[in-house]
Amino acid sequence: MAEIQFPNSTDECVYFTNRTIGDGGKAICWVYKQDCPKCGKAKMGKPRDEKTGKAKIRAKEYVCPECGNTVEKEKYEESLEAQIDYVCPKCKNKGGLIIPFKRKSIQGVKTLRVNCEKCGENIDITKKMKVPKKKGEPDLDDD
């Protein structure tokens, strides 16, 4: 398996987060931008606002700045790999993993789940500001 490589800047990433998990655990997760599948000359990114030049936050596609090729957000993100550096909240084991960047819905929250390589404890990296539902609550999340 490939070794994880920490990014030099979040500009290299489609996704970057640093989370505290449970009691004494933590996880840093990042997903590198990939080269354009059509021209291979540039990294795919979200389309930019013409006036401000800033990336559109809720864009539904990724665009190549060189050739203009567009790929649907879901299709592009499913082709990426998440790299995770973690400290297990249960056994305090430090580890690093590379997994497919596919979020699953766990307790109504979009989550990247990995397991500690030593004790098997679930390490969940949830979308920002999301709180898992209690049993019996309706699922009001529309993403």
The whole-number pLDDT of residue 118 equals: 93
The structural domains of the chain, with segments of one domain joined by +, span: 16-30+84-136
3-state class (DSSP) for residue 139: coil
pLDDT digits (tens, 9 = 90+) for 19-61: 998 888 999 999 999 999 899 899 999 988 888 888 888 889 9
pLDDT digits (tens, 9 = 90+) for 79-138: 999 999 999 999 999 999 999 999 888 888 889 999 999 999 999 998 766 666 666 655
Contacts 24+ apart (CB under 8 A), 59-65: 62/14, 64/36, 64/38, 64/39
